[in-house]
Amino acid sequence: MAGPCAVESFDQLAAAADAAAAAGARILRGGAFKPRTSPYSFRGLGEPALRWLHDIAAARDLAVVTEVMTPELVPLVAEYADMLQIGSRSIQNFPLLDAVGRAGRPVLLKRGMMSTLDELLASAEYILSAGNPDVILCERGIRTFEPQTRNTFDVVSVPLLKRLSHLPVVADPSHATGQADLVLPAARAAVAAGADGLLIEVHPDPANALSDGPQALLPSDLAELATSCGAVARAIGRAF
């Protein structure tokens, strides 16, 4: 899964989608609604971004995953997206978990920035118990005392979650590290640990991105990542 943190324009999203498709991604990611620490930060374009995600992905034979933030937005986002993302800040928004459980769409459930694995699995149970069996768990790093990276990438959570549940597990090395030059080694580690997929941020012009530019890869970097992680997967007897 690859694409920009936030959808900024049609052309920006199209360029990122081209890079994702060329690298072999199957799903286009992009935020239409963005929860931000500051209310003055760019918080997404809303429904126009959802329409662009749908149309641009369809033209490239990609599926769409995007975040939904409130129960009231679930029907709108589900109209355009193939997979609904529950972000790290929403992992214990229980009305939202119930709503996506009834939405008839697969759900990508991100680990909270300070959530234990038991708490992540309990949130997954909310979705499962509402009737939706299609849940993917996502390790995206947790907040610790270490300031050198945006988060601390808990790579051992990947095999642990696969042991503790029957659900697929993917990793988000972009949010886990917060630094573009660390995304590739973290992605390799995730694949080696058994991750079933990756969630990668790519942007045609990271220096001018409206959200999370320092962790976004250039299209050429995404192609290198896909090749490198494919080699790691083959080395341990897995397809990627």
CA–CA separation, 202 and 3 (whole Å): 5
The whole-number pLDDT of residue 112 equals 97
Residue-wise pLDDT for 45-59, tens only, equals 999 999 999 999 999
Percent of the chain with pLDDT over 90: 92
Q: Do the beta carbons of residue 33 and residue 213 sit within 8 Å?
A: no
The whole-number pLDDT of residue 41 equals 76
Q: Going by C-beta distance under 8 Å and a sequence separation of 6 or more, which residues neighbour residue 165?
A: 121, 124, 137
Q: How confident is the model at residue 106 (pLDDT cuts 50, 70, 90)?
A: very high
Residue-wise pLDDT for 151-201, tens only, equals 999 999 999 999 999 999 999 999 999 999 999 999 999 999 999 999 999
Residue 81 pLDDT more than 80? yes
Q: How confident is the model at residue 239 (pLDDT cuts 50, 70, 90)?
A: confident
Q: What is the largest CA-CA distance in the chain?
A: 47
Question: What is the CB-side half-sphere exposure of residue 62 using CA atoms within 13 A?
Answer: 31
What does the domain layout of the chain look like in residue ranges? 2-235
The whole-number pLDDT of residue 36 equals 67
Residue-wise pLDDT for 21-47, tens only, equals 999 999 999 999 977 678 777 787 999
Written as one letter, the residue type at 240 is: F
The whole-number pLDDT of residue 165 equals 97
DSSP-derived secondary structure for 110-165: EPPTT--HHHHHHHHHHHHHTT---EEEEE--B--S--SSSSB--TTHHHHHHHH-
Q: Identify which of 193, 120, 136, 143 has the alpha carbon closest to the alpha carbon of residue 170.
A: 136
Q: 102 vs 36, which has greater pLDDT? A: 102
Mean pLDDT rounded to a whole number for the chain = 96
For 208, the token pair is: 């001018």
Three-class SS state of 2: strand
Three-class SS state of 103: coil
Q: Do the beta carbons of residue 31 and residue 1 sit within 8 Å?
A: no
Q: Do the beta carbons of residue 162 and residue 194 sit within 8 Å?
A: yes
Residue-wise pLDDT for 200-231, tens only, equals 999 999 999 998 999 999 999 999 999 999 99
Q: Do the beta carbons of residue 232 and residue 191 sit within 8 Å?
A: yes
Q: Do the beta carbons of residue 25 and residue 1 sit within 8 Å?
A: yes
Radius of gyration over every alpha carbon of the chain, rounded to an integer in angstroms:
16
Specify the fold of 2-235.
TIM Barrel (3.20.20)
